[in-house]
Structures are given as structure tokens and as C-alpha cells.
Amino acid sequence: MISSLLAQQPDAVERVVDTVTTGEAVSFWVLGPLALAGALGMLFARNAVHSALWLVLTMLSLGVLYMVQQAPFLGFVQIIVYTGAIMMLFLFVLMLVGRDSSDSVVEVLRGQRLAAVVIGVGFAGLVVASISRALTDVQPVGLAAQNTQNGGNVANIGEALFTDYLFPFELTSALLITAAVGAMVLAFTSRTGQDAKKTQRQLVEERFRGNRPGSLPGPGVFATANSVATPALLPDGSVASESLSELIETTAKERLEDDVAEVSGTGHDPDAHALKGESS
Amino acid sequence: MSSAELLVDDPLWLILVKVVGIFAFLVVMTLFMINWERKVVARMQQRPGPNRVGPNGWLQSLADGLKLAFKEDIRPVLADKWVYFLAPVISCIPAFVAFSVIPLGGEVSIFGESTALQLVDLPVGVLVVLACSSLGVYGIVLSGWASGSPYPLLGALRSAAQVISYEIAMGLSIVAVVMHSHSLSTAEIVDAQSTGWYFYLLPVSFIIYLISMVGETNRAPFDLPEAESELVGGFHTEYSSLKFALFFLAEYVNMVTVSALATTLFLGGWRFPFVGDDHVLNSGWFGLLWFVIKTLAFLFVFIWLRGTLPRLRYDQFMRLGWKFLVPIALVWFVAVAFARYLRQEVEASGGLETGTWLMLIGGFLAVVLLIAFLLPDKREPHDPNAVPVTGGGYPVPPLDLQVPKSPPRRQVPVAELPGDQTKEPAAVTAASQKEASDGRV
């Protein structure tokens, strides 16, 4: 849009709304490279979270460009919706996946590359066609006149959305709701039936019905030793069987030898690099 | 003249003065808030609070700030270098930017230049605050991720989910205000409240905003991203020195901003109540005074909540947001829209008298009451094997528990007994008396 304005400066002099002011030009030449850098960074960043952050940079630059283009509502909605909600959900999922997980290079979809090339070329064709049309056929008008009529920018957008573009608007919201409901159906787990999680109340009642309402005895740590494998002793000196850890009791002795050695101080010496965080 | 017109011809030096003024205001408010919070909470817990540095301890937070600046700056080995450095900055900048659209006062003259006490008046002012709060979360989320340790990551995940959920409720509560004032511009919303403040015209919106603003700023009882008992320090566990100070600053500036927005949206901004717009109390720099007092009232609520309420469990907190606040906000916003439409239609067709209105409202209430009475009571399923339960839903001893009676006090005829038998009955009596008194309490 702005490049078209810049290109057509000579014949647009008489229309005041279309002239590019110095501030506008400066903000374009600052934000344009930033947006481009963000897009490239997103493609080439190794880390998924870094990639997402580069994309955030692009979206923010675009949002500010909208504001400079006399569309403040669009600009702030871009920031709230895209950077605030959508990219935040992206980050949420990336963090759940974990910071060290990387993409698998095995292709699971057959013909993926071919399809990507075909669709990419098609998309590039669409973009080039629309940009070339915007640069040649369309006469830029600017929003200054529109923003002063009928209650300004926000009111005009609202009116257009709910009169001329009502059907596409409702269609889009139906699409989004379908996607949300689909996600919920996929993620739904039953609260009733066999594998339902017991509620806090059910657990308490179960415990009170059973033969031990209190908690199990802890291990004998600090009574005679500081190992969790130490059983607790009953007043008559016998071992309290509930205090034995199932995990430790079923583990083969050889697997615990290192731990035992470390606890008893007969293991290897501490690593000299341990505090510096270098792997030895 | 409207604020937007006043602000258009601000010279550059005036804009700079305002920028510096807002920055200084927010930093001073942060220093003041930390001290005030500590003192008020201390008062609520019957202890003196900070009272060493400066007069009455009011310079304590300044000293703490200086101390923080001189502490060692630590970066964990596993931290992501750049993101770890950027996160506190990201969380701090939007907090300050959001305050630029808040109208602090009406028309004043600064060095002979007539202007409004506001930095900018955008036609989408309220959205600026929402956008800034949604950007500020990036600071928290990225700090948690970049620290490279599990507790901050958990805090960051909680924060992401929390802020997205509560921003929806907040946005929906603002919609009704925007519908009433016909504008998203903060200055025009304040102007529209010259006939009545929105906290009583739109009470449901006000309450939903109040709750969601606490959720949005990660403050107690909704401070789950930094829950000390569960997550050590939450998202800022690994931060120290000035980076930590920036998080601290961002949290308090955010509190001031959401309180200022609440003042603007619901408490008439810088207006003094009960007097007209042309009264002397509503002119010039007085507006700033009323604005600060109202903002401080909201900030006190923050402190009060922190001193009073325990932290919510995470699932209860999310349930409150999604199953309670969001649906109520939606229903309320539809109801307000419907009421406005109805009033418009009625006014277009000549208008109804007050009596007719009252009759209509009474009739509606009667129908609601009738339906409420006709609905059958919900029956509690009775389980004969259930553990007897009293009070809060968990098995506790019943209130009419039969305490076994202590044996009646024996009169020991001391004089008649032989000497060697008197010892033991006396001890029994003392013990039984003690038991009896225990049972009574």
C-alpha cells in the first residue's frame, strides 16, 4: 500500500490525503525492514520459540504500519488478536512441547514436497497478481476523509461489518466456532464411567471407609539413617510394613549400588567442573 | 473544546514534559505503592511494618531499589541469553506505554499553553491499554521459558493461560461501557460520564472489570504465576538485580494502569462528584487530584485483597474466569444492548410514562418470581451408605457427638481412710476433673 503511495507521488500531489509525509516515510523505512527481518528470522531461526518471536516482530511492525496508514482500530486489533492471543497460544504449545524438542526430519506425508512447491508457486502467483493490480489499476484514496464521517474509523468499520459484509463475517465466526468445538471434541475426556478421575470428595470418603483414615507412616529417615529406604519401626521394634517404599523394595540391588555408595560417601569424588556447569 | 482538539496543537516541548511527567508519576507511584502496601498489610496483621529508613520508613522502597541495582546479575547456564535479557524489558515497556492514553485531568494551562492533562487521545484509546497488557504478558512468558528451569516455566504457562482467559472477561466488561459512551476514546468516555458514573449505571460490568483486573495483573488472590508456596518465585525465580527490579516495576505500574483505567471507565475519571462541569472543583488542576484519589482507592483494594484472601487453586481460578465471568459478561452485554434498543424504539414512538415503565418492570419481575416458584426443587440423591457429613462437605465429627461422660467426682473421705490409701484416689480425682473440663469446652 505504502509502496504504491510512494510510487505514485507525482500524480497524487493534488490530493492532500495521498501525499506521503516525512514522518510516514520514515516510519515506513523503519518498520518495513523490521517486518522483513522478522519474516526471514522466523524462517531461519533454529529454535521454535525464537522463530515465534521473530513472527511477533513482523506482526507488531505490520500493526504499527496500519496505525500510520490511518487505520488505528485495525492496527490495535492486529496487536491484540495476533500478537496477544494467537502467538501467545503458539508459545503456550511450544512450551508444553519442551524447549529441546526439535523437528523430525522424517517425512510422514507422501508427496509433501511436491504439494508444497505447487501450492507455494500458486500462492506466489496470487500475491504478485494482486500487488501488481494494486500498483496499476487501483487509485489509492486514503482514509482521512472516511475517518471524519459517520462517527469515525471504528463506527465505519462496525457499520460495514454488520451491513454489507454481514454474511462473510458470520461465516467466518461459524468457521472459528466449528474449529473450537472440534478441538474440544478431540480433547474431551469423560467425567463419568470407568476411567473417570475420582473427585476429592470421593477420595476422602474412600479413605474414611478403608481401614486407615490417617496417613501412612513415613520412612525411618533421621531416626537411625538418612536413606528413604530405611523402614519405620513400630513401638515393639518390628518393621512397619506400610513404611516400605514399593519402588525401592522392587528395585534390584545392583541398580541401587551407585546411590548407596554416594550416600555412604564411598563413591567417586565430586566433579571439579560441577559448579561451573561444564559437562565433565 | 474536546481533549483531542486541545492535544492536537501541543508543541514538542510540552509533549516531552508530559512524557517525563507520566514516567515520573508512575515510578513515584511504584515506590509509594510498595511502601504503602507493606505498611497497610502490616497494619492488617497487627505489626509495625517498615519503619527504619526515612521518616516513618517511607524511604524503604527507595533503599531497596538502590540495593537491587547493586546486586550481582546472575544468568543461569541453561538460560537462553537474548530472550532472558529481553524478557524484563518487554514486560516493562508496555506497562508504561499503556498509561499514555489515560486522561489525568481536564483543560489546564502549562506555561501559558492550553492543553489537556493527557499525553495522547486516540480514537481507540481503550484498545491501547488492552494491547499493552497483552504485550506485557510476553515478558512473563518469555522470562519463564528463557530461565531454563522448571518452576519458572510452570509459572509462565500459568500466566499465559491466566492472562488470555481474564483478558476476554475484561474486554467483554468494557464493551458495555463503549456502547453507552459511543466511543473507544478514553477522554470521550470520561466526558460521557458527566451525566452519571458508570459504576452504578453498569454495575455488572464494573464488578467483572474489578475481578478481571486483579487476574490480569497477577495479584493476590490470583497470583498463581508466582505462587510462593508452589513455584518458589514463579516466573522470576532465576532473576536478580536490575532485571528483577524491572519485573517488580512492571507489576506495580500495571496495577496503577488498570486502576487508572477503572477510574476512567467507571468512576468518572477526573470529575468531582455531585457538582456540574463548570464548577470550580472540576476545573484546572483539581481534576488531577480527584483522579489520583480515585486511583489510590482502587490500589487500596488491591492491597486489601492481598491482606485478606488466600490464593485460589488453579482449577477453581480458571473455572471462575471461563464458567462465571465470561458468560455473565456476555449475558449482561446482550441485556444492555437490548435495553438500549428498546429505549431507542420507545423514544422514537413517543415515549412511555414512568408509571407504565414501572408496571412493565413489575410484571416482568412477577413472571420471573412465578417461574422460580413453579420450578420443582432439586432432589439430593440420598445414599444410605454415605459417611455422615456435617458442615463443609467433608467427613467431620457430627455436631451432636456424644462425648462419654466422665465418672462422677468421688468424695474422698480423707479423715476416715487409713494413711496409705489416700494418695491414689486423690490423683484420680484430679485427672477426672481435668477430663471433665476438657469435655465441656
Query: pLDDT tens digits for A117-129?
Result: 999 999 999 999 9
What is the C-alpha separation between A83 and A91, in angstroms, rounded?
A: 10
What is the C-alpha separation between A261 and B119, in angstroms, rounded?
A: 68
Distance from CA of B319 to the nearest CA of A (A): 16
- Element holding B247 (H helix, E strand): helix B241-266
- Element holding B135 (H helix, E strand): helix B125-146
**Are A95 and B138 inside 8 Å of each other by CB?**
no
Do B231 and B237 meet the contact criterion of CB atoms below 8 Å apart? yes
User: Residue A14 — pLDDT band, cuts 50, 70, 90?
Assistant: very low
Q: Which residues of A touch B77 (CB under 8 A)?
A: 277
Q: Could you tell me which chain A residue has the CA closest to the CA of B164?
A: A85
CA max distance for chain A = 104
What is the C-alpha separation between B18 and B377, in angstroms, rounded?
A: 61
- Element holding B324 (H helix, E strand): none
**Are B137 and A151 inside 8 Å of each other by CB?**
no
Distance from CA of B149 to the nearest CA of A (A): 10
Q: How far is CA A184 from CA A85, A143, A180, B45, in A?
A: 18, 41, 6, 45
In the numeric block, which cell numbers belong to residue A154?
471504528
The phi, psi pair for A117, rounded to 5°, reads -65, -45
User: Residue A265 — pLDDT band, cuts 50, 70, 90?
Assistant: low
Distance from CA of B90 to the nearest CA of A (A): 12
Q: Which of A47, A76, A96 sits opposite B124 (nearest CB)?
A: A76
Instruction: Pick from B77, B90, B134 the residue to mutate for testing the A interface (most A CBs within 10 Å).
Output: B134
Do A10 and A21 meet the contact criterion of CB atoms below 8 Å apart? no
The verdict on ipTM greater than 0.85 is no
Q: Which of B130, B141, B184 sits opposite A88 (nearest CB)?
A: B141
Do B125 and B103 meet the contact criterion of CB atoms below 8 Å apart? no
What is the C-alpha separation between B426 and B411, in angstroms, rounded?
A: 9
Q: How far is CA B230 from CA B120, B154, B164, B227, B233, in A?
A: 42, 10, 22, 6, 9
What is the C-alpha separation between B346 and B438, in angstroms, rounded?
A: 71
Amino acid at site B9:
D
Q: Could you tell me which chain B residue has the CA closest to the CA of A86?
A: B164
**Are A85 and B83 inside 8 Å of each other by CB?**
no
Non-local (6+) Cβ contacts of B218 within 8 A are B140, B159, B162, B163, B224, B225, B226, B251
Instruction: Pick from B91, B100, B138, B174 the residue to mutate for testing the A interface (most A CBs within 10 Å).
Output: B138
**Are B134 and A77 inside 8 Å of each other by CB?**
no
What is the C-alpha separation between A19 and A68, in angstroms, rounded?
A: 13
- Element holding B123 (H helix, E strand): none
pLDDT number for residue B300? 92
Mark which residues 251-280 of A lie under 8 Å from B by CB.
277
Do B181 and B118 meet the contact criterion of CB atoms below 8 Å apart? no
Q: Which residues of B touch A204 (CB under 8 A)?
A: 394-395
Residues of B with CB under 8 A from a CB of A: 77, 80, 83, 122-124, 127-128, 130-131, 134-135, 137-138, 141-142, 144-145, 148, 153, 156-157, 160-161, 163-164, 167, 182, 184, 386-387, 393-395
**Are B124 and A208 inside 8 Å of each other by CB?**
no
A180 interfaces chain B, CB cutoff of 8 Å: no
What is the C-alpha separation between A65 and A67, in angstroms, rounded?
A: 5
The yes-or-no verdict on residue A207 having pLDDT over 90 is: no
pLDDT number for residue B439? 44
User: Residue A12 — pLDDT band, cuts 50, 70, 90?
Assistant: very low
Q: Report the Cα B7 to chain-centroid distance in Å.
A: 32
Amino acid at site B86:
L
- SS3 category, A106: coil
A77 interfaces chain B, CB cutoff of 8 Å: yes
- SS3 category, A262: helix
**Are B122 and A96 inside 8 Å of each other by CB?**
no
β-strand partners of A239: A233
- By CB neighbour count within 10 A (0-12 exposed, 13-18 middle, 19+ buried), where does A72 fall? buried
For residue B247, the tally of other CB atoms under 10 A from its CB is 21
In the numeric block, which cell numbers belong to residue A132?
501488481
Distance from CA of A76 to the nearest CA of B (A): 6
**Are A91 and B394 inside 8 Å of each other by CB?**
no
Handedness of CA A23, A25, A31, A37 (dihedral sign): negative
Mark which residues 194-223 of A lie under 8 Å from B by CB.
201, 204-205, 208-209
- SS3 category, B109: strand
What is the C-alpha separation between A266 and A257, in angstroms, rounded?
A: 11
Distance from CA of A162 to the nearest CA of B (A): 15
Q: Could you tell me which chain A residue has the CA closest to the CA of B122?
A: A72
- By CB neighbour count within 10 A (0-12 exposed, 13-18 middle, 19+ buried), where does B130 fall? buried
In the numeric block, which cell numbers belong to residue A158?
462496525
Closest C-alpha to B145, from B85, B83, B194, B100: B83
Amino acid at site B424:
E
Q: Which of A47, A76, A92 sits opposite B157 (nearest CB)?
A: A92
Instruction: Pick from B81, B124, B389 the residue to mutate for testing the A interface (most A CBs within 10 Å).
Output: B124
Amino acid at site B249:
L
The yes-or-no verdict on residue A8 having pLDDT over 60 is: no
pLDDT number for residue A252? 74
Distance from CA of B328 to the nearest CA of A (A): 19
A152 interfaces chain B, CB cutoff of 8 Å: yes
Q: How far is CA B98 from CA A69, B127, B259, in A?
A: 21, 10, 12
Q: Could you tell me which chain A residue has the CA closest to the CA of B149?
A: A99
**Are B134 and A79 inside 8 Å of each other by CB?**
yes
Written as tens digits, the pLDDT of chain B (441 aa) is 577 777 777 778 888 888 998 999 999 999 999 999 999 999 998 898 888 888 888 888 889 888 988 888 888 887 888 888 889 998 899 989 988 888 887 777 777 777 878 888 888 888 888 888 888 888 888 888 888 888 888 888 888 788 888 888 888 888 888 888 888 888 888 888 888 888 888 888 899 999 998 888 888 788 877 777 777 777 888 888 888 889 888 989 999 999 999 999 888 888 888 777 777 777 778 888 888 999 999 999 989 998 888 888 888 888 888 888 888 888 888 888 888 888 887 777 766 667 777 788 888 899 998 988 888 777 777 766 666 655 566 666 666 677 777 777 766 665 555 555 444 444 444 444 444 444 444
Q: Which of A84, A154, A204 sits opposite B124 (nearest CB)?
A: A154
Distance from CA of A17 to the nearest CA of B (A): 18
A43 interfaces chain B, CB cutoff of 8 Å: no
- By CB neighbour count within 10 A (0-12 exposed, 13-18 middle, 19+ buried), where does A76 fall? buried
Non-local (6+) Cβ contacts of A167 within 8 A are none
Handedness of CA A196, A200, A202, A203 (dihedral sign): positive
pLDDT number for residue A263? 66
User: Residue A193 — pLDDT band, cuts 50, 70, 90?
Assistant: low
**Are A49 and B148 inside 8 Å of each other by CB?**
no
Non-local (6+) Cβ contacts of A65 within 8 A are A2, A27, A28, A31, A32, A35, A75
A89 interfaces chain B, CB cutoff of 8 Å: yes
Q: Which residues of B touch A88 (CB under 8 A)?
A: 134, 137-138, 141, 160, 163-164
β-strand partners of B108: B115
User: Residue A58 — pLDDT band, cuts 50, 70, 90?
Assistant: very high
What is the C-alpha separation between A48 and B199, in angstroms, rounded?
A: 45
Do B321 and B169 meet the contact criterion of CB atoms below 8 Å apart? yes
Distance from CA of B389 to the nearest CA of A (A): 10
What is the C-alpha separation between B180 and B337, in angstroms, rounded?
A: 9
What is the C-alpha separation between B326 and B341, in angstroms, rounded?
A: 23
Q: Which of A85, A89, A209 sits opposite B387 (nearest CB)?
A: A209
Non-local (6+) Cβ contacts of B267 within 8 A are B197, B199, B294
- Grid cell 510422514 is found at A108
What is the C-alpha separation between B261 and B256, in angstroms, rounded?
A: 9
Q: Could you tell me which chain A residue has the CA closest to the CA of B152?
A: A95
Non-local (6+) Cβ contacts of B150 within 8 A are none
How many residues are recorded in chain A?
Answer: 280
Q: Which residues of B touch A49 (CB under 8 A)?
A: 80, 83, 142, 145
Distance from CA of A158 to the nearest CA of B (A): 12
In the numeric block, which cell numbers belong to residue A221?
529417615
User: Residue A33 — pLDDT band, cuts 50, 70, 90?
Assistant: very high
Asked, as a colleague might, if the bond just before B221 is cis with ω within 30 of 0, I would say yes
- Grid cell 474412600 is found at A206
User: Residue A245 — pLDDT band, cuts 50, 70, 90?
Assistant: confident
Q: How far is CA B319 from CA B133, B215, B216, B311, B402, in A?
A: 22, 13, 15, 14, 40
The phi, psi pair for A217, rounded to 5°, reads -70, 140
DSSP 8-state class, residue B106: E
The phi, psi pair for B114, rounded to 5°, reads -80, 125
DSSP 8-state class, residue A11: G
Q: Which residues of B touch A280 (CB under 8 A)?
A: none
Q: Are strands B113-117 and B105-110 parallel, antiparallel or unpaired?
A: antiparallel
CA max distance for chain B = 110
Q: Which of A50, A72, A277 sits opposite B77 (nearest CB)?
A: A277
pLDDT number for residue A273? 52
What is the C-alpha separation between B189 and B187, in angstroms, rounded?
A: 5
